[in-house]
Amino acid sequence: MPVIKNQFTMRLDPEIHYKIKKIAETENRSMTNMIEYLICKEIKRYEHENGEIPCTDDDIFSE
């Protein structure tokens, strides 16, 4: 079964783009996968400090 993912455009400062690219290369990840990994890591940190963010199917699929 295919994984459904939302697509969007993101603009990055050139220095940040370069650094993420270098980190992705050392981790054998694509840029997209690296950015998703870093975002997930930050969400986990945030929820650990502030509590879980409630999310329902209606929240996910109504956007």
Per-residue pLDDT tens for 8-25?
Answer: 899 999 999 999 999 999
55 vs 49: CA distance, rounded Å: 17
- Mean pLDDT on 45-59: 93
The answer to whether 21 and 31 are in contact (CB under 8 A) is yes
Residue 63: per-residue pLDDT: 59
Q: Cβ distance 37 to 29 under 8 Å?
A: yes
> Kind and range of the H or E element at 35?
helix 31-50
Can you give the pTM of this predicted structure? 0.81
Percent of the chain with pLDDT over 70: 97
- Per-domain boundaries in the chain: 14-51
